[in-house]
């Protein structure tokens, strides 16, 4: 029978080969520090509970695996907030955070959401959420999620604008002057003159979210099917940029 300690070291050695020593050390640190972070989260959670009659603190995890939900769900949360929809009916403050171990699908979008939302570091918010769930009565401190799918923030209908709020409210996101300058420089690098009309064409294929492709392949397309449309737009004076998840841009053929 293999010694359990030997098995442990063998397993960790395999993980180091797979992930690298630095990644494993970060994982070890998280596992070791987790009990301490949970313990440190207990006092602020108790204070949060005591404050509830005067100020309700709610936590909401970003839904970050897919950029569509990361953008649309969050934008509609803000629109519904501005319209007074799905609010708790008392003074409150919503705090957003990234779930522990989750990597956002788009760092630029996260940077921009941080400008308009109150976003706490994961190492602070996640332990507080865990402790809050352990103490009965903590549901009110979470931005409610639809009962059959855990996508946050919860809106009337996820990323569907059923109240036509996008027509009523200005976008909550905007680029800084520095970001605008970077974007213009990128366009010039692609040969697109400043002020010229351009279209970004993104075509989904089987390489996008490949783990779920078995149930979502009906949404895939082929970038070559857009040749006629691209030619017509080019003839009308538009510049086009292309993005296909499987095929390189150079494979898109016109003419």
What is the model's pLDDT at position 16?
Answer: 76
Q: How far apart are alpha carbons 145 and 156 in whole angstroms?
A: 10
Enclosing domain of residue 214: 177-251
Domain boundary among 116, 141, 166: 141
For residue 184, tell me if it sits in a domain: yes
Residues 63 and 120 reside in one and the same domain: yes
For residue 11, tell me if it sits in a domain: no
73-86, pLDDT tens digit by residue?
Answer: 999 999 999 999 98
Total domains present in the chain: 2
For residue 220, tell me if it sits in a domain: yes
Task: Point out the least confidently predicted range of 85-99, 131-145, 202-216, 229-243.
Answer: 202-216
106-132, pLDDT tens digit by residue?
Answer: 999 999 999 999 999 999 999 999 999
Burial 215-247 (b: 16+ CB within 10 A, else e): eeeeeeeebeebeeebeebeeeeebbebebeeb
């Amino acid at each position: 029978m293999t010694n359990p300690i030997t098995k442990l070291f063998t397993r960790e050695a395999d993980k180091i080969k797979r992930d690298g020593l630095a990644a494993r050390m970060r994982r070890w640190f998280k596992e070791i520090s987790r009990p301490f972070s949970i313990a440190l989260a207990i006092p602020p959670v108790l204070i949060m509970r005591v404050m509830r009659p005067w100020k309700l603190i709610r936590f909401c995890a970003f839904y970050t695996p897919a950029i569509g939900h990361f953008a649309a769900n969050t934008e509609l949360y803000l629109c519904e907030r501005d319209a007074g929809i799905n609010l708790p009916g008392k003074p409150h403050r919503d705090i957003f955070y990234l779930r522990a171990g989750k990597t956002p699908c788009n760092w630029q979008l996260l940077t921009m959401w941080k400008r308009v939302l109150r976003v706490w570091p994961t190492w602070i918010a996640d332990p507080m959420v865990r402790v809050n769930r352990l103490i009965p009565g903590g549901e009110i401190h979470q931005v409610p999620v639809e009962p059959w799918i855990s996508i946050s923030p919860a809106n009337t209908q996820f990323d569907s604008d059923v109240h036509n709020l996008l027509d009523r409210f200005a976008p909550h996101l905007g680029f800084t002057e520095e970001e605008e300058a970077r974007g213009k420089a990128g366009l010039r690098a692609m040969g697109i003159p400043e002020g010229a009309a351009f279209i970004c064409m993104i075509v989904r294929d089987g390489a996008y979210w490949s783990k779920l492709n078995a149930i979502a392949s009906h949404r895939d397309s082929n970038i070559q099917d857009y040749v006629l449309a691209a030619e017509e737009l080019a003839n009308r004076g538009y510049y086009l940029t292309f993005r296909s998840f499987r095929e390189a841009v150079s494979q898109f053929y016109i003419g």
